[in-house]
Structure 1
């Protein structure tokens, strides 16, 4: 059995899988800030995307955030 990722303390990389234990933590925010930069912000639609994309990787989440930002 695979253990869930500890979103508060485990290292997050582009290969980290979004699992059922996913939470919007400061650790997650730091990951997105390092990947996207200071313009990164959580919003409700993106948080919902994260919640409904279990099995995707954090690289997919970065690409989705950038796609949404470009569409604004």
Structure 2
């Protein structure tokens, strides 16, 4: 199986977060398409993403929503 390229492979809700996850402009575009220009990465969410291997990008989107609700 080829390694997922976080820079150029298409990302959707079903994309599995791999152990090779990278915070890229491609990932930022995915989140901005879901949440608009208000989306911002912060250090704790980036750390969460790095440790979310096996979850989906939809799971990550739900985590971002949860974090925003608790602010």
TM-score by length of 2: 0.96
> Take 1:4 and 1:63, find their aligned partners in 2: how far apart are those partners?
25
RMSD: 0.7
Query: Aligned-pair distance for 1:7?
Result: 0.4
- 2:19 aligned with 1:33, yes or no? no
Unaligned runs of 5+ in 1: none
Cα distance per residue 1:1-24 (max 9 Å; x no partner)? x32210000000000000011100
Report how many aligned residue pairs link the two structures. 71
Give secondary structure in 2 for the equivalent of 1:38.
Answer: helix
Unaligned runs of 5+ in 2: none
> Take 1:12 and 1:50, find their aligned partners in 2: how far apart are those partners?
14
